[in-house]
């Protein structure tokens, strides 16, 4: 079998965006492609802080939108920020109805955390750092009980079929090391919800599956990619040698934890008036500079949080203990790690990509909400808002919902998975040359090396998806000759008076790469 046609809407991915879209589409039949067992391998389940929403009576969506625009450093689309922040409250209420056990106050309100660059404590949470895991648990249980959703576990998408500029199918293969030749699945509509690109970097907080594959496959099909250069580095990944690096949530700094170096000195106070609660990019560069100078930065929660870290932040405490760090008595070693991709597949207000028949939501999409620097905890919010919008837009083009038979994907033959040594090289290059502090020479070198990696295994679509996204990030970073938000160029440290979003196709990025590629 090489192709199968179905009346189901095909959703690529199984994180928050995918699950929420599938539930919105119900009873329209859906086929969800999940590389792992549903719930595993998605960033969504690892989210610690929570979801940003103006739930407190003293807070407003307008203030939330204003903070979002300010954090984004001049390239947030203000109308997108206003609309998304306006919708936030109803999604929190919906998640609550679906069974998410958000922390509540005695009078029935929501317990709110304060995170960097928010003017108000505005992040709903679950048991300190369990928000993502609990939201996913609630949605997965609901999806499992929803007969219209077929979940195809152990499979991934490797490419899109495009006919006359319209996306007509998704190539699907098995996700293990031994991969069968892909089968073309042609659905009623196609929604990409495959997450971001953090795992393209060696030092990252993202799960191993999240390596820009889905952005890359859309780019290879010809879709426009926006803001590719804007990659957010989380300042406080726990530097314990694990890959991926566990996260010490920003809420810890919101509660008063401080950053110190090996001499026990605070260093953020002289870099920004908000010190540890400065915008993420500024804290990330502060940490990076300390690491580069050998000062071994650390997060000190001892005085502000003390023994309560064990019960209030169980995921952080467990990661520390795994590495022999006692967070009650010792500072937690930290490093800046690739965390969130503001850029992605350019979509309109309905989640439509530039190719007909293709919708995208979640971190793989670039909506204009985040600009050059995502405001903390706006990632899950954006996934919720655009999952529902994309699903609604897809439904508008379908007839009445009717049950559809289950899709049987019978793969045959075999193809190679990406070579591990090539993926490791790619990730090292991204961290070393396209990381927290960039410059033209390194970016050109990165493009040349990405080219060599791509052509070391030319028939591997999964690798090409990764190198496509890496090429777009490096080419867009080279093209942006200024520093803005998370994109910092040591050779262009100034910020231009006006900021614009970048839009590029893979063909544009390949043209730039060709100038530096060495055979």
Ligand X SMILES: Cc1cc2nc3c(=O)[nH]c(=O)nc-3n(C[C@H](O)[C@H](O)[C@H](O)COP(=O)(O)OP(=O)(O)OC[C@H]3O[C@@H](n4cnc5c(N)ncnc54)[C@H](O)[C@@H]3O)c2cc1C
As measured in angstroms, the least distance from the Cβ of 496 to ligand X is: 28
How far is Cα 69 from Cα 371, in angstroms, rounded to an integer?
8
The nearest distance, CB 379 to ligand X, in angstroms, is: 3
Best CA proximity match to 46, nearest among 131, 156, 149: 131
Indicate the residue among 276 and 442 with the shorter CB distance to ligand X: 276
Q: Which residues contact 81 (CB under 8 A, 6 or more apart)?
A: 65, 68, 69, 72, 369
Taking the complex as a whole, how short is the minimal distance between the CB of residue 22 and ligand X, in angstroms? 11
Least separation in angstroms between CB 343 and ligand X: 12
Tokens 């929803």 locate to 146
With CB under 6 A as the contact rule, which of the stretches 30-38, 98-106, 399-407, 426-434 interacts with ligand X? 30-38
Residue 115 per-residue DSSP state = -
Query: How far does Cα 55 stand from its chain's mean position?
Result: 24
CB of 492 to ligand X, least distance (A): 28
How far, rounded to the nearest angstrom, does the alpha carbon of residue 108 sit from its chain's CA centroid?
A: 31
Phi and psi (nearest 5°) for 398?
A: -105, 160
Is residue 280 annotated as part of the catalytic site, yes or no? yes
**Does position 347 bind ligand X by CB under 6 A?**
no
Q: Is 33 in the site for ligand X (CB under 6 A)?
A: yes
The answer to the question of residue 386 lying near ligand X (CB under 6 A) is no
On whether the CB atoms of residues 101 and 285 are closer than 8 A, the answer is no
Binding region for ligand X (CB under 6 A) out of 45-53, 277-285, 451-459, 473-481: 45-53
Query: Would you call 311 helix, strand, or coil by DSSP?
Result: helix
Report the residue from 12, 226, 259, 512 that binds ligand X according to the rule CB under 6 A.
Answer: 12
As measured in angstroms, the least distance from the Cβ of 41 to ligand X is 4
* Nearest residue to 51 (alpha-carbon basis) of 139, 126, 107: 126
The first and second tokens of residue 143, run together, are 């999806």
Q: Which residues does residue 32 pair with via DSSP β-bridges, in sequence order?
A: 11, 151
Among 8, 29, 50, 464, binds ligand X (CB under 6 A): 50
Task: Provide the CB-side half-sphere exposure for 131 (13 A, CA).
Answer: 28
Determine if 254 is a binding residue for ligand X (CB under 6 A): no
**Spatial distance between the Cα atoms of 352 and 389, rounded to a whole number of angstroms:** 9
Q: Which of 48, 148, 174, 483 binds ligand X (CB under 6 A)?
A: 48
3-state secondary structure (DSSP) of residue 414 = strand
Distance CA(466)–CA(215), nearest Å, equals 8
Name the strand (E) or helix (H) holding 233: strand 231-238
- CB nearer to ligand X: pick between 349 and 482: 349
Residues in region 175-204 near ligand X by CB under 6 A = 193-196
Q: Is beta strand 30-34 parallel, antiparallel or unpaired with respect to 9-12?
A: parallel
206 binds ligand X (CB under 6 A): yes
Restricting to residues 457-516, name those near ligand X by CB under 6 A: none
Q: Can you tell me which of 8, 10, 25, 49 binds ligand X, judged by CB under 6 A?
A: 49
Phi, psi (rounded to 5 degrees) for 61: -60, -30
Q: Min. distance of Cβ 124 from ligand X in angstroms?
A: 10
Characterize the bridge pairing of strands 358-360 and 344-346.
Answer: unpaired
Given 211, 280, 427, 438, which residue is catalytic? 280
Among the listed ranges 47-55, 140-148, 424-432, 505-513, the one in contact with ligand X (CB under 6 A) is 47-55
Contacts of 196 (CB under 8 A, 6+ apart): 43, 206, 210, 212, 215, 340, 341, 344, 363, 364
Total of residues contacting ligand X (CB under 6 A): 45
Stretch that binds ligand X, among 13-21, 96-104, 282-290, 301-309 (CB under 6 A): 13-21
Stretch that binds ligand X, among 281-289, 330-338, 361-369, 472-480 (CB under 6 A): 361-369
- Residue given tokens 């079998």 in the structure block: 1
* One character per residue 75-114, x = contact with ligand X (rule: CB under 6 A): ----------------------------------------
Report how far residue 355's alpha carbon sits from residue 219's, in angstroms, rounded to the nearest whole number.
Answer: 10
For ligand X, the binding residue among 8, 64, 91, 209 (CB under 6 A) is 209
CA nearest neighbour of 211 among 244, 189, 169: 244
Identify the residue among 29, 41, 254, 331 touching ligand X (CB under 6 A). Answer: 41
Tokens of 197: 């690109």
**Structure tokens given for 406:** 């289950």
Residue 363 binds to ligand X (criterion: CB under 6 A): yes
Pick one of 110, 267, 340, 451: the residue that binds ligand X (CB under 6 A): 340
Our finding on whether 236 is near ligand X (CB under 6 A) is no
Closest distance between ligand X and the C-beta of residue 287, in Å? 16
- Our finding on whether 342 is near ligand X (CB under 6 A) is no
Q: Does 351 bind ligand X (CB under 6 A)?
A: no
* Cα separation, 305 vs 315, whole angstroms: 15
Query: Do the Cβ atoms of 364 and 193 come closer than 8 Å?
Result: yes
Q: Does the footprint of ligand X cover residue 212 (CB under 6 A)?
A: no
At 178 the three-state DSSP class reads strand
**Which residue lies nearer to ligand X by CB, 49 or 357?**
49
The interface region with ligand X, picked from 177-185, 371-379, 433-441, 468-476 by CB under 6 A, is: 371-379
User: How many residues would you count in the chain?
Assistant: 519
13 binds ligand X, rule: CB under 6 A: yes
Alpha-carbon span 183 to 180, nearest angstrom: 9
- Interface residue with ligand X among 68, 213, 236, 367 (CB under 6 A) is 213
Residues near ligand X (CB under 6 A): 12-18, 33-36, 41-44, 46-51, 131-132, 156-157, 193-196, 205-206, 209-210, 213-214, 247, 340, 362-364, 377-380, 383
Q: Mind telling me the catalytic residues?
A: 280
């Amino acid at each position: 079998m090489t192709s199968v046609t179905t009346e189901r809407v095909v959703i690529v991915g199984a994180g928050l965006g995918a699950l929420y879209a599938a539930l919105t589409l119900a009873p329209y039949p859906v086929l969800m492609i999940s590389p792992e067992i549903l719930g595993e391998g998605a960033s969504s389940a690892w989210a610690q802080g929570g979801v940003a929403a103006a739930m407190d009576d003293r807070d407003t969506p307008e203030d939330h939108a204003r903070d979002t625009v300010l954090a984004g450093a001049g390239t947030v689309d203000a109308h997108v920020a206003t609309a998304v922040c306006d919708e936030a409250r109803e999604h929190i209420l919906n998640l609550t109805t679906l069974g998410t056990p958000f922390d509540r106050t005695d009078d029935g309100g929501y317990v709110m955390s304060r995170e960097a660059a928010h003017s108000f404590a505005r992040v709903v949470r679950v048991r300190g750092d369990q928000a993502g895991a609990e939201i996913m648990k609630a949605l997965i249980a609901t999806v499992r009980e929803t007969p219209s959703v077929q979940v195809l576990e152990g499979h991934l998408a490797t490419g899109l079929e495009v006919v006359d500029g319209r996306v007509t199918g998704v190539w699907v293969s098995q996700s293990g090391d031994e991969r069968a030749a892909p089968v073309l699945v042609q659905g009623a509509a196609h929604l990409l919800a495959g997450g971001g690109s953090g795992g393209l970097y060696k030092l990252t907080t993202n799960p191993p599956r999240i390596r820009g594959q889905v952005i890359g496959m859309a780019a290879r099909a010809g879709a426009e990619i926006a803001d590719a250069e804007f990659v957010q580095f989380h300042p406080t990944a726990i530097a314990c040698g694990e890959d991926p690096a566990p996260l010490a949530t920003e809420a810890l700094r919101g509660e008063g934890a401080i950053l110190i170096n090996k001499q026990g000195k605070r260093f953020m106070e002289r870099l920004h008036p908000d010190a540890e609660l400065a915008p993420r990019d500024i804290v990330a560069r502060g940490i990076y500079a300390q690491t580069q100078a050998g000062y071994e930065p650390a997060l000190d929660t001892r005085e502000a949080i003390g023994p309560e870290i064990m019960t209030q932040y169980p995921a952080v405490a467990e990661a520390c203990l795994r590495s022999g760090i006692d967070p009650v008595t010792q500072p937690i070693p930290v490093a800046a790690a690739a965390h969130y991709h503001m850029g992605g597949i350019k979509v309109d207000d309905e989640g439509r990509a530039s190719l007909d028949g293709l919708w995208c939501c979640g971190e793989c999409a670039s909506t204009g909400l985040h600009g050059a620097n995502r405001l903390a905890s706006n990632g899950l919010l954006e996934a919720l808002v655009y999952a529902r919008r994309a699903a609604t837009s897809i439904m508008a083009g379908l007839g009445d919902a009717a049950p559809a038979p289950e899709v049987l994907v019978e793969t045959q033959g075999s193809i190679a998975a990406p070579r591990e040594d090539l993926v490791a090289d790619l990730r090292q290059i991204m961290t070393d040359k396209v990381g927290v502090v960039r410059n033209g020479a390194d970016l050109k070198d990165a493009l040349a090396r990405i080219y060599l990696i791509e052509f070391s295994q030319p028939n591997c679509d999964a690798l090409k998806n990764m190198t496509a996204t890496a090429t777009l990030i490096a080419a867009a970073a080279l093209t942006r000759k200024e520093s803005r938000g998370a994109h910092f160029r040591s050779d262009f440290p100034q910020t231009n008076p006006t900021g614009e979003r970048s839009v590029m196709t893979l063909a544009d990025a390949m043209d730039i790469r060709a100038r530096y590629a060495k055979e």
